[in-house]
Chain A
Amino acid sequence: GENVEQHPSTLSVQEGDSAVIKCTYSDSASNYFPWYKQELGKRPQLIIDIRSNVGEKKDQRIAVTLNKTAKHFSLHITETQPEDSAVYFCAASPQGGNQFYFGTGTSLTVIP
């Protein structure tokens, strides 16, 4: 099955700086890659996603890049704010959006 690895596990940045979280996947059939933000005790919320037919997608301060050849994708958050502090999960879907296999999560702390 699919194996998703995520780094780093914890990340602290100063407010206003950028944060980058990286994930790799193993199944070349995976073609859908969502990113979720989970605040403590709450449900994961989709923040951005990318499909394998594009290399980059941007939504305001958030962007995701995908390198299919290397099987890795990254989340970029610019101009970080304290409310960005949460746990972020990447995921890969081998069936174009059915089962998700999640990375191990990154706990992001934005220091005011």
Chain B
Amino acid sequence: GAVVSQHPSRVICKSGTSVKIECRSLDFQATTMFWYRQFPKQSLMLMATSNEGSKATYEQGVEKDKFLINHASLTLSTLTVTSAHPEDSSFYICSARERSYGYTFGSGTRLTVV
């Protein structure tokens, strides 16, 4: 099946630092990946669409300078939370589409900013 790997699974960082989250499609190529954010007991909110070789498309209200997305290859997209603050603490999860299996989610990253 289609597997999407996401790292790290958990990260704790100090306020003001940056954190990079990786999303990899292990056995398929993904020209498009998606980044979501999920607060506790709430729904998944689409943050941005990551396009291989081009700029990401951000949803309304998402700060592109704060959440930097890079999709440099067909199997890797990264989300960097810059100058993180406690309010950025959340569960971040990516997804990618494989032609036969449809959309698969990564395992998510629990970010805690202290």
Contact = CB atoms under 8 A, between A and B. Distances in A.
A97 B43 contact: no
B42 A104 contact: yes
Given A43-B93, A43-B108, A98-B32, A89 B103 contact: no
Interface string A35-50: 0100000111110010
Contacts of A44: 44, 93, 105
B12 interface: no
A1 interface: yes
B103 A97 contact: yes
Main secondary structure of the interface of B (DSSP, over half): strand
B46 A100 contact: yes
B107 A42 contact: yes
B24 to A, nearest CB: 14
Interface string A72-101: 000000000000000001000000011111
Interface string B20-51: 00000000000010101000011111100100
A40 to B, nearest CB: 10
Given A1-B60, A99-B49, A100-B34, A34 B103 contact: yes
A107 to B, nearest CB: 8
Given A1-B60, A43-B93, A43-B108, A100 B103 contact: yes
A82 B32 CA distance: 36
Interface of B: 32, 34, 36, 41-46, 49, 59-60, 93, 95, 97, 102-103, 105-108
Interface of A: 1, 6, 34, 36, 42-46, 49, 89, 97-105, 107
Given A42-B108, A45-B105, 7 more contacts: A34-B103, A43-B108, A44-B44, A44-B93, A44-B105, A97-B97, A100-B95
23 contacts: A1-B59, A6-B43, A34-B102, A34-B103, A36-B105, A42-B107, A42-B108, A43-B105, A43-B108, A45-B105, A46-B103, A89-B44, A97-B97, A98-B49, A99-B34, A99-B46, A99-B49, A100-B46, A100-B103, A102-B45, A102-B46, A103-B43, A104-B43
